[in-house]
Amino acid sequence: MKFRKKPVVVEAVQLKWETWNEVCDFVPKPWFVRGVWVCNTSSDYSDCKKDTYDRIGLLIHTLEGDHLAIEGDYIIKGVNGEFYPCKPDIFDMTYEVVE
């Protein structure tokens, strides 16, 4: 069987330096766990020092556990008020701007 995704309008914001304040306002606690520095050279973001970071990140509590959104990812507010990250290429294939 094949299925078509139902059209759903979602709210989202892309995680960037220039949208950091918007992201902080958009993702309320307890969904917003903490902001982090992300190092490309290490999979363990907690060891990254501010002066050696590559990107900013946001640790988000999702229904499936905590997930790391990195700079460039979209943060989506789901239909039940939950939040989750989405990679930009997947976001672009799945969503379009609503006028």
Q: Over its length of 99 residues, how does the chain's per-residue pLDDT go in tens digits?
A: 998 888 888 999 999 988 988 988 899 887 887 777 666 555 555 555 555 556 778 888 888 888 888 889 999 999 889 999 999 999 999 998 888
- Given this model, what pLDDT does residue 28 score? 87
Collapse the DSSP code of 58 into the 3-class scheme (helix H, G, I; strand E, B; otherwise coil) and give the result.
strand
- Residue 41 pLDDT: 52
pLDDT at 47: 52
Q: What is the pLDDT of residue 13?
A: 95
pLDDT of residue 3: 83
Question: Which backbone phi and psi does 84 adopt, to 5 degrees?
Answer: -160, 150
E strand map for the chain: 11-14, 32-38, 55-62, 65-70, 74-77, 83-86
User: Do β-strands 74-77 and 11-14 pair in parallel, antiparallel, or remain unpaired?
Assistant: antiparallel
DSSP β-ladder status, 55-62 and 32-38: antiparallel
pLDDT at 37 (0 to 100)? 65
pLDDT recorded at residue 26: 92
Distance separating alpha carbons of residues 37 and 51, to the nearest angstrom: 9
